[in-house]
Amino acid sequence: MTYPDSVQFLYALGNEIKTAKLGLERIRVILDALGHPETACRFVHVAGTNGKGSTCAMIEAGLRAAGVSTGLYISPHLAEPAERIQVRGQPVRAEQFTWAFDRVHAVSETLLTSGAIDAHPTYFETVTAMAFLLFRELRAGTVVLETGLGGRLDATNVVSPILTGITPIDFDHEQFLGHTLGEIAGEKAGILKPGVPAIFARQRPEALNILEERARELGVPVTHTSQARMDELHVDARGSVFRLDGATVQCPLAGEHQVENAVTAVLALRRLGVAPDGIAQTRWPGRLEWISERPAILLDGAHNPAGARALAAYIRRFFGDRRVWIVYGTMRDKAVDEITGTLFPLAAEVIVTAARYSRSLRPEAIADMANDPRVRVAPSIEDALAVVRREAHPEDAVFVTGSLFIVGEARALLLQ
């Protein structure tokens, strides 16, 4: 297949959340048929609700700066699925992605015909198997692996990691993971392995209790970010600088919430015997990413209530004296009332829109939920940005947020 063919086939498998089949049986059969590529690298495995992608990106940047041949596996992507699989700081090339897809697809069809698996692997299972193949093929030494959904039954949970990390746990995907923080934490704790060290970010008590209990059962040595000594913290609109246990750390990711993610990454790197200096080189597109100065245009994939609260705190702290615009679009399965109730009151102008994606919530439905006369509807992100270009003043601040699909489309248009 060509790269567009492989991408089209993956999309035809269905939305990776809506069609998720939690469980490891199918991915294990596929990886066995592929010669167990998941055993070829050292893995750092990270779970959590918010911040796990940022934390993974910072750990990978630190390892790469120290001369390690790195891999990075993340989800979702902003523009192209190939972004999910990165080696030595770069997304794999289209032809590499297609080669891996062809291998996994062919093996899957053979296994399906023989009855060894019950169905073609899902979108996420397929790309996860592809990632393991490419990490082996391209000789990644240490791979930083972000879980997709939960942890215990996530397709990434077939590895034997050298280190695990759990970022802050909050509510998201309750239909899969449970309706209490304790239940969700139990799923995230599923990545912990007997005797393998773990880094725990600060957690709410009900989540922390579950994580601690599981760690004790497995004999996991835990390092807590709450036990690190931080001082001289300086946070501005572009990132933060602080001292942690006497060493200076520069975090280039904006938002006060990124400080906790940076501390988690520092402690992970130290556990791996690596200095944290490389964190300063981290790039993490679409998360409080500055695209323009006048007006200030920032992209942020605040797709759940915790992400919305973090974005709201950032707006209040650094843009309280500016006229704020919110351009928002989301998927149908998100906590729209809570997110819009957090963000919309901070804005002078609100535009709701939709990504070119089947699971997008119609902007008219968002407007009805908001029940706010200030809310305007734009059929597409292109239409929404046209309004911003036409009406926003140079001193204004525009936040494009909600689904990462919205952010990805906006990013492509704004960077043209």
Residues 39-57 pLDDT 10s: 999 999 999 998 999 999 9
d(CA 407, CA 297): 12
Residue 190 pLDDT grade (very low, low, confident, very high; cuts 50, 70, 90): very high
Residue 173 pLDDT grade (very low, low, confident, very high; cuts 50, 70, 90): low
pTM attached to this predicted model: 0.93
- Cis check: omega of the bond before 205, within 30 degrees of 0: no
18 pLDDT higher than 70: no
The whole-number average pLDDT for the span 319-331 is 95
Query: What was the pLDDT predicted at 249?
Result: 97
Quick one: how far is CA 387 from the chain centroid?
Answer: 29
Which residues fall within 8 angstroms of residue 207, CB to CB, at 6 or more apart?
169, 181, 182, 184, 185, 188
Residue 373 pLDDT grade (very low, low, confident, very high; cuts 50, 70, 90): confident
21 pLDDT higher than 70: no
From the CB of residue 256, how many other CB atoms can be counted at a distance below 10 Å?
Answer: 14
The answer to whether 219 touches 195, Cβ cutoff 8 Å, is yes
Question: 287-414, what's its fold?
Answer: Protein-Tyrosine Phosphatase; Chain A (3.90.190)
Asked whether this chain's domains 3-281 and 287-414 adopt the same fold, the reply is: no
Query: What was the pLDDT predicted at 16?
Result: 52
d(CA 351, CA 387): 9
d(CA 364, CA 200): 41
Query: What was the pLDDT predicted at 13?
Result: 87
22 pLDDT higher than 80: no
20 pLDDT higher than 80: no
Quick one: how far is CA 378 from the chain centroid?
Answer: 27
| Both tokens assigned to 218 | 């497995």
Q: 3-281 domain in CATH 3.40.1190.10?
A: yes
Q: What is the dihedral of CA 334, 16, 184, 252, to 10 degrees?
A: -80
19 pLDDT higher than 90: no
The whole-number average pLDDT for the span 67-80 is 94
Query: What was the pLDDT predicted at 131?
Result: 98
Length of the chain equals 416
The whole-number average pLDDT for the span 99-119 is 96
Query: What was the pLDDT predicted at 332?
Result: 83
The answer to whether 187 touches 177, Cβ cutoff 8 Å, is yes
- Quote the percentage of the chain above a pLDDT of 90: 85
99 pLDDT higher than 90: yes
Hey, CA dihedral for 179, 125, 72, 165, is it positive or negative? positive
Query: What was the pLDDT predicted at 231?
Result: 92
Query: What was the pLDDT predicted at 178?
Result: 65
By mean pLDDT, which of 1-10, 105-114, 218-227 is the weakest?
1-10
- What is the rounded average pLDDT for all residues in the chain? 94
174 pLDDT higher than 60: no
The answer to whether 170 touches 50, Cβ cutoff 8 Å, is yes
Residue 176 pLDDT grade (very low, low, confident, very high; cuts 50, 70, 90): low
Where do the domains of the chain lie? 3-281, 287-414
Query: What was the pLDDT predicted at 205?
Result: 95
The whole-number average pLDDT for the span 330-343 is 88
171 pLDDT higher than 80: no
Query: What was the pLDDT predicted at 175?
Result: 61
Residue 348 pLDDT grade (very low, low, confident, very high; cuts 50, 70, 90): very high
The whole-number average pLDDT for the span 103-132 is 96
d(CA 368, CA 350): 13
Residue 37 pLDDT grade (very low, low, confident, very high; cuts 50, 70, 90): very high
Maximal CA-CA distance, the chain: 65
Distances in Å between the alpha carbon of 41 and those of 8, 45, 135, 224? Answer: 29, 12, 7, 26
| Nearest of 225, 276, 283 to residue 252 by alpha carbon | 283
The whole-number average pLDDT for the span 359-380 is 92
